[in-house]
Structure 1
Amino acid sequence: MKKNSSWSEYINMKQKYTFWEKLSLKCVLVGDMNVGKSSLAARICSRTFKTDYSPTLFDNYAATVSVHGIPYHLNIFDTAGKEDFSKFRVISYLNSDVFLVCFSIDDIKSLVHVEESWVPELRQHVPNTPFILVGTKLDARFQEPDIQVVSSSTVSPKQGQELAAAVGAYSYVEVSSLSNDGVEDLVTEVVDAAKTYWELRCAKKKKCPACVII
């Protein structure tokens, strides 16, 4: 009985591994202009820091990442922050597995817009898809060694955590695309959120190899 149980567990794990290895997870970045969405996408996918800035209409990145020992294919869609481009932006929401709602830690207005604009937009178009609240430009909190610069425009960790809880975010992560701080943690959260979403949908259909219990 124990041997059969171990074999069943092995088959189940192999099915899950094969399923996720072949699957592409779609992650869409939203947020105000100039909060660092493009830099974050480039850091995740090419492990480089994007120094030049140009307003994005629509851009797509791809990478294979390893989380919990399993490879996953990530398709990351970088969207425009301008209201004028909302029609184009919403098109990219189709069939998404997880969203990154980004704000800049050195710009509290971008945090306010998360609650006033970005989360309502997601709730209108993709109400069931999980989203992660992401505080970008973490390095801006420390402009000089050993000196924390706090101003009325700087967002504290507590403010980010409280908003994430208030708007129903899957989690809250702070990152620096410049130094790479927090980026690996964010990738793990992206995969975990997307997997949870997939497994919930598949459990209803009872057709997903990753959800089969043998």
Structure 2
Amino acid sequence: PLQQIAPELMKAIYKQLVMVGDVYSGKKCLTLRFSHDQYIDNYQYVDNNVAAIEVDGKHMEFKLCWTAGSEEYDRLRPLSYPKTDVILLCFSIDSPESLEHIMEKWAPEVKLHCPNIPIILIGNKKDLRNDPNTISKLEKVNQAPVTPDEGQAMADLIGACAYLECSAKTNEGVSEVMETAAKAVVNLKTQRNQGSCKCI
């Protein structure tokens, strides 16, 4: 016999969240943390990519999609964008180049294929900012981990709704990322009903 569907599930809001960014920018690990509350370094495959959250009294379920960041997928990646409700533009705090690529590549691509969709800039791997090995490695090439001010400046430059930092490894800031994404979707729907499309 068919199981009775719980009333709260019948009222669920189903949305799609897409993560975009360089290779090794933390997209897969963040997906795994969102959907299974686990961290596995160098995890290659993430199954059952769904995350549920309550926001403003509403039950929301996100289908989570992370996109391949390598150039050979440039033509295939846009296939992930249809029906997207919110974008997480990801860079890695231990990679200043990945932040630069947000402006050079990822923000223009997302705005082309997903106009008027909320964009949230995410600094992943926050745990590496004060990691001695990371600092030493970057110092050898006259670089340093991305600072919060640098991340916020980029968010302002690309017109992101918000800038957040998190660590899938330690779980720091992960819940705030999901909450912000959910609120961005709810607010966008409200603003569209009111005839405007501003970010949160």
Q: Which runs of 5+ in 2 are unaligned?
A: 1-7, 196-200
Taking the aligned partners of 1:89 and 1:60, their CA distance within structure 2 comes to 20
1:30 partner letter? V
The equivalent of 2:109 in structure 1 is 121
Give the Å deviation of 1:131: 0.6
Aligned CA RMSD, in angstroms, stands at 2.5
Kept after mapping to 2: 8 A contact 1:21/1:73? no
Kept after mapping to 2: 8 A contact 1:59/1:79? no
The equivalent of 2:198 in structure 1 is none
Whether 2:35 is the aligned partner of 1:45: answer yes
Between the aligned residues of both structures, percent identity stands at 34
Of 38-47 and 19-28, the range deviating more from structure 2: 19-28
Whether 2:148 is the aligned partner of 1:160: answer no
Taking the aligned partners of 1:28 and 1:20, their CA distance within structure 2 comes to 24
- Number of aligned residue pairs: 183
- TM-score normalised to the size of structure 2? 0.83
Q: Which runs of 5+ in 1 are unaligned?
A: 1-17, 205-214
Cα pair distance change 1:124/1:181, threshold 3 Å? same
Cα pair distance change 1:159/1:120, threshold 3 Å? same
Matches within 5 A, 1:189-204: 189-204=180-195
Looking at CA atoms only, which structure, 1 or 2, has the larger radius of gyration?
A: 1
Secondary structure class of the residue paired with 1:49 = coil
The equivalent of 2:74 in structure 1 is 86
- TM-score normalised to the size of structure 1? 0.78
Kept after mapping to 2: 8 A contact 1:97/1:194? yes
Give the Å deviation of 1:98: 0.5
1:97 partner letter? D
Taking the aligned partners of 1:19 and 1:179, their CA distance within structure 2 comes to 30
Bigger fraction of residues in helix: 1
Matches within 5 A, 1:183-194: 183-194=174-185
Instruction: Identify which of 118, 123, 126 aligns with 1:135.
Output: 123
Cα pair distance change 1:133/1:62, threshold 3 Å? same
Taking the aligned partners of 1:19 and 1:44, their CA distance within structure 2 comes to 19
Cα deviation, 1:94-126, whole Å, max 9, x if unaligned, reads 011100000000000000000000000011111
